[in-house]
Amino acid sequence: MKVFYSALFLVLLHGMAHAQCEDFTLTVSDVQPPSCPNASDGAITLSAAGAQGMVSYAWTETGLSGPSVSGLAPGTYSVTATDDAGCQAVETVALEAALAADAGPDVEAYCGAESVSLGGAAITEISFSSDITPIEFSDSNQEIVPFRGISGEVGFAPAPDSFDPASSDSLYVEIGSATASVGDVVCLPVRVYNFTDIVGAAFTINYDSAHLNFIEVTGLNPNLPGFTAAFNIATPNNGLNAGFIILNYFEQSLSGVSLSDGSTLFTLCFEVAGISGTSVGPNITYQWTGPSNFTISELFPQVTEPGVYTLRVTDTTQPDCWAEDEVEVIFQPDSIGLVLTDTITPCHSQPVLLEPEISGGQQPFSFLWSTGDTTQSLTVNSIDIPVDYSLTVTSSDGCTGLASVRVEAESGPPPFIDIGPDQPFCSGQSVLLAATATGGAMPYTYIWNDGLVTSNPNRILNPSVDTTYWVNVVDANGCSNPAGPDSLMVIQLPPSDVELGPDQHICPGEQVVLTPFVSGEPAIAYSWSNGQTGAIITVQPSQTTTYSLTITNSSGCFSSDEVEINVGGP
């Protein structure tokens, strides 16, 4: 018995220690980056919580110890903390120099471009994205309306709008653009064109959170009943990705709304936090060098020759404190830059707008898709196997560009809805409508033609006339049945009515013949309260008695009546 209890005690101790280890955490409480790429003045301070007893720190770098270390050069530092109970926690910190040079990504200049801008993200984009929620508008028939999203730009000399909403009947949604510098607040209107018979919308707007700080959504369009734009902004606590704004709109009455071209749905406001990854400040200088003895001290220079350009950023307050980065510029005078983005949709048969980003060349352009279409944009429907599309663009000055794109839907069957066959009903009786949803991703939402939106697939109705009902299903990803709603008709069966006449008075010992009068559909079955089943019955009650009759017609519908026979009455 002693061995048993000792073993149990050890198991309990082990379980307690394991549970307590889950409370042991290690966090970075402070970081001091090295001032320069060649400096060793960085520092890291750690904080341990939930430890049992003393904590020791083992750094992977030689010569470091304790929760606070200093004299650090740029690099990656890892530490393992261990308490007296043997619990461990690991933390890794990447130290980057405070002084940074960002020459930006390599640049390709295309047909007609005489110069390009260097220096990183002089322009930052605000665009529509399907990364979090499907991008779609729906009309009063609950059908998806394809739309073309026009991105906005903030920064140094954003490009002017280049689309013509009158060129097609498609719904256009345009995010405005603005010229701005660091510290400015910009408010960008989101405008619509060809906005007709719309009852709902769901889309995500993506922005670069390193360059823009989101402030608010304002100016919700007052002409949209119930438009609240229940937007969700990414924060450290809600699990959303930084740089995304999710907006939704749904008109419960399913009455489509139309807006005039150029109407503003809402306005997005941002603070410009940064334009380039390069350090800025009163004591920071810039020096570019490049081909043909090119040299300039601007942060965003314009260059006209191909080759490798080097940016040196110097902090004049510290000796020998500088950082460098380089970028390659390629001029392709006979080519057009053409970009198409691969798309994976969460829904089957979801419309996808293929729209090229064009760089270089002189307008007007001609377009030729692999499908034979000659429009600038192409709307296709996704299926569960990849489909490749290619586009050739030719400019009026003879330059060409070729790009391809792949479109597919996520694997797995789409949501399907079945409401069953038509249902007959008898007058005065209720009808159960039971919808069955399969495929897609649970949970499901059911949308009925009378405006009911519910998670319950069953409905109990009390119709009085023949009525058609339809229902559609939307799954957890916002996908609906590609075949559209399913419908049935509730059909009233021919009714019958039975009358037993007025109450009667008889003398004791007298007989009464009860003859029902049946109107409408003939009766095929009779059920009297005294157990008889004939159409006409004879009764001889000894005391006042109420007799009731229920008839059933050939359609299975019931009708009832009763009569009171008073015995010994006046």
> What is the tens place of the pLDDT at every residue in 390-438?
999 998 888 899 999 999 888 778 889 999 999 999 988 899 999 999 9
**Does a cis peptide bond (omega within 30 degrees of 0) precede residue 134?**
no
- Look at 139-143, 178-182, 245-249, 302-306 and tell me which has the smallest mean pLDDT: 245-249
Select the CATH number that applies to the domain covering 337-409 from these four: 2.60.40, 3.40.140, 1.10.3470, 2.20.200: 2.60.40
Q: Which pLDDT belongs to residue 428?
A: 85
State CA 43 to chain mean position distance. Answer: 41
> What are 136's strand-pairing partners?
202
pLDDT digits (tens, 9 = 90+) for 80-90: 999 999 999 99
CB 25 within 8 A of CB 50: yes
Q: Counting Cβ atoms within 10 Å, is residue 338 exposed (0-12), middle (13-18) or buried (19+)?
A: buried
Q: Which pLDDT belongs to residue 568?
A: 84
pLDDT at 162 over 80: no
Could you count the other beta carbons within 10 Å of the beta carbon of residue 526? 18
Query: Would you place residue 372 in the very low, low, confident or very high pLDDT band (cuts 50, 70, 90)?
Result: very high
Sorted by sequence, the CB contacts under 8 Å of residue 131 that are 6+ apart come out as 204, 206, 241, 244
Average model confidence (pLDDT) for the chain?
A: 83
Query: Would you place residue 331 in the very low, low, confident or very high pLDDT band (cuts 50, 70, 90)?
Result: confident
CB 225 within 8 A of CB 257: yes
Q: Which pLDDT belongs to residue 1?
A: 28
d(C-alpha 426, C-alpha 490), whole Å: 10
3-state secondary structure 375-436: CCCEEEECCCCCEEEEEEEECCCCCEEEEEEEEEECCCCCCEEECCCCEEECCCCCEEEECE
Higher-confidence residue: 165 or 16? 165
pLDDT digits (tens, 9 = 90+) for 187-228: 999 998 888 888 777 777 888 776 788 888 888 888 876 665
| Percent of the chain predicted with pLDDT > 90 | 42
Q: Which pLDDT belongs to residue 254?
A: 66
Higher-confidence residue: 240 or 417? 417
Q: Which pLDDT belongs to residue 7?
A: 29
Q: Which pLDDT belongs to residue 545?
A: 94
pLDDT at 470 over 50: yes
Query: Would you place residue 383 in the very low, low, confident or very high pLDDT band (cuts 50, 70, 90)?
Result: confident
The mean pLDDT value for 172-177 works out to 87
- Look at 30-34, 244-248, 371-375, 511-515 and tell me which has the smallest mean pLDDT: 244-248
CATH top-level class of 416-492: mainly beta
Q: Which CATH architecture has domain 121-272?
A: Sandwich (2.60)
2-16, 112-126, 522-536, range with greatest mean pLDDT: 522-536
pLDDT at 102 over 80: yes
- Look at 13-17, 160-164, 334-338 and tell me which has the smallest mean pLDDT: 13-17
- Residue ranges of the chain assigned to CATH 2.60.40.10: 416-492, 496-567
d(C-alpha 562, C-alpha 570), whole Å: 21
**Does a cis peptide bond (omega within 30 degrees of 0) precede residue 34?**
no
d(C-alpha 546, C-alpha 528), whole Å: 11
- Residue ranges of the chain assigned to CATH 2.60.40.1080: 20-95
Amino acid identity, residue 87?
Answer: C
Cα–Cα distances (Å) from 480 to 150, 286, 419, 456, in that order, read 26, 55, 15, 16
Coil, strand, or helix at residue 540?
coil
Query: Would you place residue 107 in the very low, low, confident or very high pLDDT band (cuts 50, 70, 90)?
Result: confident
The mean pLDDT value for 313-322 works out to 92
Q: Which CATH architecture has domain 20-95?
A: Sandwich (2.60)
d(C-alpha 382, C-alpha 380), whole Å: 7
**What tokens were used for 249?**
């709109």
Query: Would you place residue 480 in the very low, low, confident or very high pLDDT band (cuts 50, 70, 90)?
Result: confident
Could you count the other beta carbons within 10 Å of the beta carbon of residue 105? 10
- Look at 101-110, 124-133, 475-484 and tell me which has the smallest mean pLDDT: 124-133
CB 193 within 8 A of CB 117: no
Select the CATH number that applies to the domain covering 496-567 from these four: 1.10.287.1080, 2.60.40.10, 2.130.10.10, 3.40.50.1820: 2.60.40.10
